[in-house]
């Protein structure tokens, strides 16, 4: 996941996951402690706090397991299962890389699915969720069938095999709001004060606003299987996928 160089300096310095999803270790000073919530805020972090259907990262801060990470009013808080370090303490953070990489593979696979649906049917996504190596997206298809699921599965794996490069870009909000391909969920889900907007570009396939962690290339995803197609009501159809290692 590379960055063309337009990341806001404050973001690059404090939210390491936003510019380099392959960072697994980092050091940072404790900026604030919430004893009642058993959590700490750091001056900078590589822990993704969750959002957009992607779960938060897990790992350790010092000797304490990190059991949850959450963004609250702009601040990222790390819940610890252990003693809380004091304000000003420098701690070593370590990401659970196996889980992070599985989520990266899953998230990128869902963007490939989204890109295929947009390219082939010009249909936007209306919702989604994921866990390591499995996820789902919802689309306003008028109808859904197993045959369509098989076609989509074939297309996803074709795009994976093309080894598209994946880059992170930052786009002025005024330009993003004018491009329906960039914000395909309800625009009010992305607060207007987020400017510039972080964009994930699967070069040659899909480009849309997103805050999560992704791979450097679609070739890292593995093999995707469409495990289910469901109708969740009128103009609301669900596609479920699972990700496996390359065969």
Q: pLDDT tens digits, residue range 199-236?
A: 899 999 998 888 999 999 999 999 999 999 999 888 88
User: Where in the chain are the domains?
Assistant: 9-95, 100-244
DSSP string, 141-169: -S---HHHHHHHHHHHHHHHHTT-BEEEE
For residue 2, give Cα distances in angstroms to 18, 205, 216: 10, 16, 7
Q: Which CATH number fits domain 100-244: 3.30.980.10, 1.10.760.10, 3.40.640.10, 3.40.50.300?
A: 3.30.980.10
Q: Which CATH number fits domain 9-95: 2.40.30.130, 2.40.50.140, 3.40.1440.10, 3.30.9.10?
A: 2.40.30.130
My answer on whether omega of the bond before 114 falls inside 30° of 0, hence cis, is no
pLDDT of residue 188: 45
Q: Do domains 9-95 and 100-244 have the same CATH topology?
A: no
Under the banding of pLDDT at 50, 70 and 90, the label for residue 10 is confident
- With tokens 């750091």, the residue in question is 42
State yes or no: pLDDT of 29 exceeds 90.
yes
State yes or no: pLDDT of 23 exceeds 80.
yes
User: Tens digit of pLDDT for each residue in 131-170?
Assistant: 999 999 999 998 888 899 999 999 999 999 999 999 998 8
Closest to 50 measured CA to CA, from 228, 211, 216? 211
pTM: 0.92
């Amino acid at each position: 996941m590379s960055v063309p160089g337009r990341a806001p300096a404050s973001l690059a310095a404090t939210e390491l996951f936003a510019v380099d999803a392959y960072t697994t270790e980092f050091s940072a000073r404790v900026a604030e402690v919430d004893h009642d919530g058993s959590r700490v805020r750091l001056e900078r972090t590589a822990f993704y706090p969750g959002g957009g259907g992607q779960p938060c990262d897990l790992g350790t801060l010092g000797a304490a397991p990190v059991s949850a990470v959450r963004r609250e009013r702009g601040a990222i808080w790390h819940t610890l299962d252990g003693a809380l370090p004091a304000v000003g303490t420098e701690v070593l953070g370590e990401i659970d890389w196996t889980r992070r990489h599985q989520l990266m593979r899953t998230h990128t696979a869902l963007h490939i699915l989204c890109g295929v649906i947009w390219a082939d049917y010009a249909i936007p996504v209306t919702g989604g969720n994921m866990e390591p190596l499995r996820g789902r997206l919802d689309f306003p298809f008028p109808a859904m069938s197993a045959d369509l699921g098989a076609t989509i599965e074939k297309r996803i794996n074709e795009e994976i095999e093309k080894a598209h490069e994946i880059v992170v870009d930052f786009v002025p909000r005024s330009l993003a709001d004018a491009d329906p391909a960039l914000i395909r969920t309800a625009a009010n889900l992305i607060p207007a004060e987020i400017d510039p907007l972080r964009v994930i570009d699967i070069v040659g396939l899909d480009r849309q606003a997103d805050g999560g962690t992704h791979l450097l290339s679609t070739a890292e995803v593995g093999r995707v299987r469409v495990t289910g197609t469901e109708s969740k009501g009128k103009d609301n159809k669900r596609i479920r996928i699972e990700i496996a290692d390359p065969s």
